[in-house]
A and B are shown apart, each in its own frame.
Chain A
Amino acid sequence: MRQTIFKFIWAYSTRQQLILLAITCLSFPLVYMILEVPKWIINDAISGTHFPKSFLGFQFEQLDYLFLLSAFFMGLIILNNAVKYVLNVYKGVVGERMLRRLRYQLFEATLRFRPRSFRRVSGDQLIPMITSEVEDLGHFFSEAVATPAFQGGSLVVYIVFIFVQNVWLGLVAVSLYPLQAWLIPHLQKQVSLLARDRVRNLRVVADRVGSSVSSSEIMHASATRRYHLADFSDHLHENYRIRFDIYKKKYVIKFLNNFLNQMPPFIFYAVGGYFVIQGELTLGALVVCISAYQDISGPWKDLLGYYQRFAMADIKYSTIIENFAPDDRYTEEHVASPADEAGHKVAGVALSVSKLALEAGEGAGHLSGLSFSLPASGSLALVGDDESGRSQVLQAVAGLVPALSGSITLDGRAITTMNEADIGARIGYVEPQPYLFDASLRANLAYTLRRQPLGPSTLSESEARYRKREAALTGNSPDEVKAPWTDFARAGVADRAALDQRMVDLLTRFGLGEDLTRLGLARRPNIEALPDFAAKILKVRAGVRAEILGDPELAGLVDLWDRETINPSAPLATNLLFGFAPQRERSIHVIAEDPAIRSLLRQEKLLEPLLALGAEAAGTMIRLFIDDPDATYSPAQEHDIPRLDLEAARPWLSVFTEEGAKDLDEAGTTALLIIALCLRPRRHRMRRLTPALLDQVLAVRAIIQTHWDDFDDRYIHADAESYIPALDVEHNLLQGRVRLGKSQGRPRIREVMHRWIVQEGLEAQIQRFGLDISVGVGGSALSAHQRRIVALVRALIARPPLLIADLGDSATQDLVTELRAAQEGSLLVGVAKQKSAGALDGSLSLKGLSAQPTQR
Chain B
Amino acid sequence: MDIDEEIALLSRSRLFRDCDADDLEVLAYTAVPVSFTPGETIIHQNIVADHAYYVFAGQVRLQIAGGQLPQGFAEMGDSLLLGVVSAIAGRATPWNVVALDEVQALSWPVEDLRRFLLRVPAVSVFLLEHLTGQMVDHMNALFAAQAEGSKQD
In contact, A741 and B33 (Cβ under 8 angstroms)? yes
- 8 Å CB contacts to A: which residues of B71-100? 83
Is B143 interfacial (CB-CB < 8 Å)?
A: no
In contact, A634 and B30 (Cβ under 8 angstroms)? yes
Is B26 interfacial (CB-CB < 8 Å)?
A: yes
Is A685 interfacial (CB-CB < 8 Å)?
A: yes
In contact, A624 and B22 (Cβ under 8 angstroms)? yes
In contact, B43 and A743 (Cβ under 8 angstroms)? yes
Is A686 interfacial (CB-CB < 8 Å)?
A: yes
A-contact 0/1 string along B16-28, CB 8 Å cutoff:
0000001001101
Q: A743-B50, A743-B51 are in contact. Are A556 and B40 (CB under 8 A)?
A: yes
Q: A741-B51, A742-B34, A743-B42 are in contact. Are A624 and B83 (CB under 8 A)?
A: no
Docked pose: A556 CA to B119 CA in angstroms: 32
Docked pose: A651 CA to B30 CA in angstroms: 24
Q: What residue of chain B has the Cβ atom nearest to residue A633's Cβ?
A: B115
Docked pose: A630 CA to B28 CA in angstroms: 16
Q: What residue of chain B has the Cβ atom nearest to residue A680's Cβ?
A: B32
Is B15 interfacial (CB-CB < 8 Å)?
A: no
In contact, A744 and B25 (Cβ under 8 angstroms)? no
Q: What residue of chain B has the Cβ atom nearest to residue A221's Cβ?
A: B118
Is A687 interfacial (CB-CB < 8 Å)?
A: yes
Is A198 interfacial (CB-CB < 8 Å)?
A: no
In contact, B115 and A687 (Cβ under 8 angstroms)? no
Is A637 interfacial (CB-CB < 8 Å)?
A: yes
Is B47 interfacial (CB-CB < 8 Å)?
A: yes
| Chain B interfacial residues counted at CB < 8 A | 33
Residues of A within 8 A of B132 (CB): none
Q: What residue of chain A has the Cβ atom nearest to residue B82's Cβ?
A: A743
Q: A624-B22, A687-B3 are in contact. Are A741 and B32 (CB under 8 A)?
A: yes
In contact, A683 and B32 (Cβ under 8 angstroms)? yes
Is B101 interfacial (CB-CB < 8 Å)?
A: no
**CB contact between B29 and one of A552, A553, A624, A632 (< 8 Å): that residue:** A624
- 8 Å CB contacts to A: which residues of B27-69? 28-34, 37, 40-44, 47, 49-51, 53
In contact, A742 and B119 (Cβ under 8 angstroms)? no
Docked pose: A620 CA to B26 CA in angstroms: 10
- 8 Å CB contacts to B: which residues of A537-589? 552-553, 556
In contact, B44 and A743 (Cβ under 8 angstroms)? yes
Docked pose: A687 CA to B28 CA in angstroms: 12
In contact, A632 and B115 (Cβ under 8 angstroms)? yes
Docked pose: A620 CA to B3 CA in angstroms: 12
**CB contact between A636 and one of B37, B47, B112, B118 (< 8 Å): that residue:** B112
Docked pose: A607 CA to B137 CA in angstroms: 58
Residues of A within 8 A of B83 (CB): 743
Q: What residue of chain B has the Cβ atom nearest to residue A553's Cβ?
A: B40
Q: What residue of chain A has the Cβ atom nearest to residue B6's Cβ?
A: A685
Q: What residue of chain A has the Cβ atom nearest to residue B115's Cβ?
A: A632
Residues of A within 8 A of B47 (CB): 744
**CB contact between A743 and one of B2, B28, B49, B119 (< 8 Å): that residue:** B49
In contact, B107 and A742 (Cβ under 8 angstroms)? yes
In contact, A634 and B112 (Cβ under 8 angstroms)? yes
Q: What residue of chain B has the Cβ atom nearest to residue A568's Cβ?
A: B32
Docked pose: A743 CA to B50 CA in angstroms: 6
**CB contact between B26 and one of A552, A624, A635, A686 (< 8 Å): that residue:** A624
In contact, A682 and B115 (Cβ under 8 angstroms)? no
Among A552, A624, A637, chain B packs the most CB atoms within 10 A around the CB of A624
In contact, A686 and B3 (Cβ under 8 angstroms)? yes
Residues of A within 8 A of B29 (CB): 620-621, 624, 684-685
Residues of B within 8 A of A36 (CB): none
Among A625, A635, A686, A742, chain B packs the most CB atoms within 10 A around the CB of A742
Docked pose: A634 CA to B83 CA in angstroms: 19
Docked pose: A634 CA to B109 CA in angstroms: 10
**CB contact between B22 and one of A628, A632, A686, A740 (< 8 Å): that residue:** A628
Residues of B within 8 A of A632 (CB): 115, 118-119
In contact, A636 and B22 (Cβ under 8 angstroms)? no
Residues of B within 8 A of A682 (CB): 32
Is B148 interfacial (CB-CB < 8 Å)?
A: no
Instruction: Count A/B pairs, Cβ under 8 Å.
Output: 67
Q: What residue of chain B has the Cβ atom nearest to residue A684's Cβ?
A: B29
Docked pose: A556 CA to B42 CA in angstroms: 12
In contact, A744 and B40 (Cβ under 8 angstroms)? no
In contact, B3 and A636 (Cβ under 8 angstroms)? no
In contact, B2 and A687 (Cβ under 8 angstroms)? yes
Residues of B within 8 A of A742 (CB): 34, 51, 107
Docked pose: A684 CA to B33 CA in angstroms: 11
In contact, A741 and B34 (Cβ under 8 angstroms)? yes
- 8 Å CB contacts to A: which residues of B109-123? 109, 111-112, 115, 118-119
In contact, A556 and B37 (Cβ under 8 angstroms)? yes
Q: What residue of chain B has the Cβ atom nearest to residue A686's Cβ?
A: B3
Is B153 interfacial (CB-CB < 8 Å)?
A: no
Residues of A within 8 A of B42 (CB): 743
In contact, B25 and A624 (Cβ under 8 angstroms)? yes
- 8 Å CB contacts to B: which residues of A142-189? none
B-contact 0/1 string along A730-749, CB 8 Å cutoff:
00000000001111100000
B-contact 0/1 string along A694-725, CB 8 Å cutoff:
00000000000000000000000000000000
**CB contact between B44 and one of A636, A686, A744 (< 8 Å): that residue:** A744
Residues of B within 8 A of A631 (CB): 26, 119
- A743 CB to closest chain B CB (Å) equals 5
- 8 Å CB contacts to B: which residues of A35-78? none
Q: What residue of chain B has the Cβ atom nearest to residue A744's Cβ?
A: B44
- B150 CB to closest chain A CB (Å) equals 38
Residues of A within 8 A of B115 (CB): 632, 634
Docked pose: A636 CA to B29 CA in angstroms: 12
Q: What residue of chain A has the Cβ atom nearest to residue B120's Cβ?
A: A630
Residues of A within 8 A of B118 (CB): 632
Residues of B within 8 A of A556 (CB): 37, 40
Q: A630-B119, A637-B30 are in contact. Are A741 and B112 (CB under 8 A)?
A: no
**CB contact between B32 and one of A625, A635, A740 (< 8 Å): that residue:** A740
**CB contact between B37 and one of A552, A628, A634, A637 (< 8 Å): that residue:** A552
Residues of B within 8 A of A741 (CB): 31-34, 51, 107
- B39 CB to closest chain A CB (Å) equals 8
Residues of A within 8 A of B26 (CB): 624-625, 628, 631
- A188 CB to closest chain B CB (Å) equals 54
B-contact 0/1 string along A407-429, CB 8 Å cutoff:
00000000000000000000000
In contact, B2 and A685 (Cβ under 8 angstroms)? yes
Residues of A within 8 A of B43 (CB): 743
Docked pose: A687 CA to B7 CA in angstroms: 12
- A647 CB to closest chain B CB (Å) equals 18
Residues of A within 8 A of B40 (CB): 553, 556
Docked pose: A740 CA to B42 CA in angstroms: 13
Docked pose: A684 CA to B32 CA in angstroms: 8
Docked pose: A744 CA to B40 CA in angstroms: 12
Which residues of B does A touch, CB under 8 Å?
Answer: 2-4, 6, 22, 25-26, 28-34, 37, 40-44, 47, 49-51, 53, 83, 107, 109, 111-112, 115, 118-119
Further pairs besides A634-B112, A685-B28, A686-B3: 18, Cβ < 8 Å: A553-B40, A621-B29, A624-B25, A624-B26, A628-B22, A631-B119, A632-B115, A632-B118, A634-B111, A636-B111, A741-B32, A741-B51, A742-B51, A742-B107, A743-B44, A743-B49, A743-B51, A743-B107
**14 A-B Cβ contacts within 8 A?**
A624-B22, A625-B26, A631-B119, A632-B119, A634-B111, A683-B32, A684-B29, A687-B3, A741-B34, A742-B51, A743-B42, A743-B50, A743-B83, A743-B107
Chain A to chain B: the 7 pairs with minimum beta-carbon distance, closest first = A741-B32, A741-B107, A741-B34, A743-B51, A740-B32, A685-B3, A632-B115
